[in-house]
Amino acid sequence: MLAVLLALLTWLAAVPAAFPATLVVRVQTPEGHALPGAVVTVRPLESAARHAAPVHVVMDQVNRSFEPDLLVIPVGSTVEFPNSDSVSHQIYSFSPAKRFQLPLYRGKPYPPVHFDQPGVVTLGCNIHDEMLAYLLVTDAAWYGRTNEAGSWSAEVPRGRYRVELWHPRLRDNEVDLARELTVAEADRAELTLRLSRPPQPAPLANRPHSWDY
């Protein structure tokens, strides 16, 4: 009987760790205003490396713009680049994470592009310089973008994590954009990341993007 009771107590002690908790990350400007459109990635520090499953997504071209203009995808994912515009485009990337080019086309003539290395991929058009988009390819277990309130959340197991931030308008020497935290017995853990310097100005004032605010 005593052995059964001890086993039950041991199981009850382990139950809280088995249920996920809500991790809330808020991103703010130096003035404390919400920063929408920021990319948040979360990696476990104690358990074995865990990667999100690859996905297949579409980044279209409409009205001489990428739609959507920022995607976050796991390593191993594929992206289709149809051109639904009324004019031809020639998409390219010179980024180390993925260098490729889709020669001048309309419609959907090319197969999806495979992204097998983590990193930021900057996309442009050789014909229309105002076209700009980003792909962030991540090996993180959880990822997403902040909403208009500058907030992002995910359900994660209890444990220790490293939270990192990326945004297209961050300055190169921006500091303190990664934090470590412990998600303990509470059902909710919160973290606020505040930029130390104002974001860079929008590159195209007459062509707003999803990461502008």
pTM for this prediction: 0.85
What residues contact residue 157 under an 8 Å CB cut-off, 6+ apart?
Answer: 17, 18, 20, 21, 44, 47, 183
Query: For residue 133, what are the β-bridge partners?
Result: 123
Number of H helices, E strands in the chain: 1, 17
Give the CATH H-level superfamily of domain 20-50+140-194.
Immunoglobulins (2.60.40.10)
Torsion of CA 71, 73, 79, 85, to 10 degrees: -10
CATH fold match for the domains 20-50+140-194 and 56-138: yes
Write down the pLDDT at residue 4: 41
Count of other CB atoms within 10 angstroms of residue 201 = 9
Q: Does domain 56-138 have CATH number 2.60.40.420?
A: yes
Measured distance CA(162)–CA(115) in Å, rounded? 23
Residue-range domain boundaries for the chain? 20-50+140-194, 56-138
Query: pLDDT tens for residues 42-79?
Result: 999 987 767 889 999 999 999 999 999 999 999 999 99
Which helix or strand (DSSP H or E) is residue 27 part of?
A: strand 21-28
Query: pLDDT tens for residues 166-208?
Result: 999 887 766 568 899 999 888 899 999 998 888 887 766 567 7
